Amino acid sequence: MRAQIVHHRASAGRPTAVRAALVTAALLVLLVLLAVVLPVWTLIGSADATVAGALDVPVGRIAAVTVLGVLVVLALAVGLVLTARPAVAWSLTALLVVVALLTALYPLLATAQSAVDQGQAFVPWLTDLVTRLRG
């Protein structure tokens, strides 16, 4: 009877590949936070401060996408912690990192799109001003 209990305990542990996927996911998400999220937010903040608030940063959309992205990453992390199958663990790891990267890059893309929209509105205003000043 004791041999069965020991055997059962030994097989109850997670496979090494699942543990490796979990550690890899944690390290890559930490890397995304340090190497992407912080520089992107710093860049957006400094760009907005440089133009004295004239840059229209879509804060509401950025906040909504960030919250949604964090919730999806957390859900994938819970699935990763609960799984015991290596193929599922590595798939969840890859998906988790992709979602974390997309969530981290969205503020930069949204701000750039907003700046382009503002720039396109500026050109007609400027030409109209020049036309009025000329006559």
Residue 50: its pLDDT value, please?
Answer: 85
Distance (Å, rounded) from C-alpha 77 to C-alpha 92?
8
Q: How does pLDDT run across 89-113, given as a tens digit for each residue?
A: 999 999 999 999 999 999 999 999 9
Q: What is the mean pLDDT of residues 23-29?
A: 97
Number of domains present in the structure of the chain? 1
Q: Is the pLDDT higher at 92 or at 14?
A: 92
Within-domain flag for 62 = yes
Within-domain flag for 9 = no
Distance (Å, rounded) from C-alpha 53 to C-alpha 30?
31
- Nearest by Cα to 51 from 121, 111, 120: 111
The verdict on pTM exceeding 0.85 is no
Alpha helices in the chain (DSSP H): 2-12, 16-32, 38-50, 59-82, 86-134
Residue 2: its pLDDT value, please?
Answer: 52
Within-domain flag for 85 = yes
Within-domain flag for 82 = yes
Within-domain flag for 3 = no
Residue 12: its pLDDT value, please?
Answer: 55
Within-domain flag for 112 = yes
Within-domain flag for 5 = no
Within-domain flag for 64 = yes
**Which residues are CB-neighbours of 96 under 8 A, at least 6 positions away?**
25, 29, 73, 76, 77, 80
